[in-house]
Amino acid sequence: MGKLFRYGGIVASVILIAMGIGSVYMGFDGRDRVQSDLAREQIVGTPDSTIPGQLVDSGGEAQAFAQVMRKHTLEATDGQTYAQMGRFLDDSGNPTSDEAAAATDPKSGQPVENPARNIWISSTAFQTALNTAYFAESVSTFVIVIGAAMLLAGIGFLIMTMKLLQPLAAEARTRAQAVPAAS
């Protein structure tokens, strides 16, 4: 039974090493994919951002650009979020949530929608995509670190297991030598 556990240690070590290598590979592949997808969009930091004139091609830059987008959106909506804005515009062009008080579109006969809410929706969708890129790159970095830890643990366990097997091999040689001498 002792041999089974010792050789099981080798198998477990090899599995840890393989999973560590796989995790490191997948982490680097994930980071590369995030960065190439961001670069493909050709987003450049605005002059008032923390990345002025820079191509947004990393998760950190994506997060920085999302922050400046939120700032611009709040400026365009007079500091109001989507939920704070009226759904419609009245005859004076002021926001209102009262459909009866809303101006009517002469072509459709429907209440005139508040265009600032559409700005907010578009901006929020883009910010979410940028923040998701930041999150995905962060997860990829975490996977690289965990993969490296698994790789190192597997190598350490393999070294320890091999050291445990050395006395077994010496003991087996001693028994093999002792058997012919007794006959």
Give how many domains the chain has, as a whole number. 1
Helices 115-182/59-76 angle, 10° precision: 160
DSSP tag of 112: P
pLDDT value for 6: 72
Q: How do residues 69-108 score in pLDDT, each as one tens digit?
A: 999 999 999 999 999 999 999 999 899 999 999 999 999 9
SS (H, E, C) 57-103: CCHHHHHHHHHHHHHHHHHHCCCCCHHHCCCEEECCCCEECCHHHEC
Q: Which residues contact 37 (CB under 8 A, 6 or more apart)?
A: 133
Report the distance separating Cα 66 and Cα 125, nearest Å.
10
Residues of the chain below pLDDT 70: 1-2, 167-170, 172, 178-183
What is this structure's pTM?
0.78
Sequence-ordered strand ranges (E) for the chain: 88-89, 95-96
Between vectors from CA 13 to CA 143 and to CA 151, what angle results, nearest 5°? 30
Q: How far apart (Å, rounded) are the C-alpha atoms in residues 82 and 65?
A: 20
Phi, psi of 146 (to 5 degrees): -65, -40
Predicted local distance difference test score (pLDDT) of residue 44:
97
Domain that holds residue 160: 2-182
Cα–Cα dist 140/32, whole Å? 9
First to last CA, the chain: 28
